[in-house]
Structure 1
Amino acid sequence: MPHLVGAFTLIGLSGLLALLPNDWGQWLIYDRQAILDGQLWRLVTGHLMHTNGWHFAMNSAGVLVIAWLHGRYYRFGDWWLRLGYLALMTSLGLLVFSPELYWYVGLSGVLHGLILMGALEDIRCSEKTGWLILLGLAIKIGWEQWMGPSAEVVSLIGAPVATQAHLFGALAALPYGLWAFRRKKGA
């Protein structure tokens, strides 16, 4: 149950931030130049912001699906540590390897990392579904890197989809996977 509390807290926090006046919300988005100028909080807070209600709804649904699929692996503190780590690492990936991306909002990069962490836990626990999720995620991210985002999603959220964030979120989960498998051998 703590994972559901974490999931609903994340959705609630993101929803409350959406109610901020637009001028205030602009201080929270991932803005490349502002981060380079020292506004480092944006490395994390940008993931809590969204372009519109559809974007928020899609990300909220993703949070709930991940909590349902893999919530048994998370205690409340673990949930927030993973979120913070993935937000920071996704943003750093964008900052270093995607200089053309000037702004970013949304949880999608973090969600891709969480789903990979959960799939790796499934595999560690000998659940075959983990391999299926891992394969599906690899195909999705590969397709996006090669073909770009879905035109329908771009239209729905009213902004370009930063598929690089999906890649960096998943890549950030890999060190966790190595640690999880070492933990299995030691158990």
Structure 2
Amino acid sequence: MYRIKGSDGWKSLIERVWKAHWPAILVVVLCLGLELGGNPVRQALAYDRPAVLAGQWWRLITANFVHSGWPHVLLDLSGLVLLWLLFGRTLGPLRFWIATLAGCVAVGLGVFFLSPDVEWYVGISGVLHTYWASGALLAVARREWGGRWLLGFLVAKLAYERIWGPLPTSTWSIGGPILTIAHLYGAIMGVLLGMLWIAIDRRRAARLTPSRNRPSAQ
């Protein structure tokens, strides 16, 4: 039996990082693992409209976790890490997972029903906008630092994409077209979730706060 100097410190650091960031880490590992599968995995899980029409409905969800290549997945996961650092504590693990699933559903169904001209897509960027919108709304409601700026930047980004198309740096980075409408679908779901959670938080706070008008016991 032996012990390497400093190993306990590294173990403690890894445990702290895992406890603080495990939801984002799991999504990162999932996306990287699927990318390692290469083109066969990509083709099996991507949104493919004819395949969905043929009954492969799971593609509406799985398409969000596969990417067109390493530049694409690394760009999206960089955004995921940034959004987790910004809103991870604001959302918390449960709401993060709800936003993940709801964002996948919103993007998948939005593309299928509202963008029938889209034949194929991959990428988690639409879901990232669900995190962004819901997290920013909660941050504003809680008066957290930077919440208004982050929400305003999201609105400006979506408006730019609707008018002029994707940001040039994004297109250059992944080497292909970006489905910006998926960002809008994801953001809309994020707004709905954010409004719902704000209402739930306020109702919960009202229940926990004693009423000033409640008569005192005699």
* TM-score scaled by length of structure 1: 0.93
Identify the residue that residue 111 of structure 1 maps to in structure 2: 128
TM-aligned CA distance change 1:34 to 1:96, over 3 Å? same
2:99 touches 2:193 (CA, 8 Å); kept in 1? no
- Equivalent in the alignment of 1:59: 76
1:50-78 per-residue CA deviation (whole Å, 9 max, x = no partner) reads: 11111111111111111111111344343
C-alpha contact 2:129 2:187 (8 A) present in aligned 1: yes
Q: Structure 1's 181 and 78: CA in aligned 2 closer, same or farther, altered over 3 A?
A: closer
Q: Segments of 4+ in structure 1 off by > 6 A?
A: none
User: Bigger CA drift: 97-106 or 122-131?
Assistant: 122-131
Between the aligned partners of 1:3 and 1:88, the Cα distance in structure 2 is 26
Aligned pair count? 187
By how many angstroms is 1:128 displaced? 4.7
Larger of the two Rg values belongs to structure: 2
Residue type of the partner of 1:13? L
Deviation at 1:98, TM superposition (A): 0.9
Distance apart, 1:151 and its partner CA: 3.6
Give the aligned partner of residue 135 of structure 1: 152
- In structure 2, stretches of 5+ residues that fail to align are 1-17, 206-218
2:103 equivalent in structure 1: 86
Tell me if structure 1 keeps the 8 A contact 2:129–2:186.
Answer: yes
Q: Given the two structures, how large is their TM-score scaled by the length of structure 2?
A: 0.80
Instruction: State the partner residue of 1:167.
Output: 184
Q: Which of 114, 117, 122 does residue 100 from structure 1 map onto?
A: 117
CA positional deviation for 1:101: 1.1
Identity %: 32
Query: Which deviations, in whole Å up to 9, do the C-alpha atoms of 1:59-113 show, x marking residues without a partner?
Result: 1111111111111134434322220111111111111111111111111100011
**Aligned AA (2:188):** L
Is residue 2:55 matched to residue 1:38? yes
Instruction: Pick 1 or 2: higher relative contact order, CA cutoff 8 A, min separation 6.
Output: 1
> Counterparts of 2:41 and 2:129 in 1: how far apart (Å)?
27
Cα shift at 1:13: 0.7
Residues 151, 8 of structure 1: alpha-carbon distance in 2 compared, 3 angstrom cutoff: same
Cα deviation digits, residues 138-172 of structure 1 (max 9, x gap):
01001101001134422321221000001110011
Q: Distance in 2 between matches of 1:184 and 1:76?
A: 16
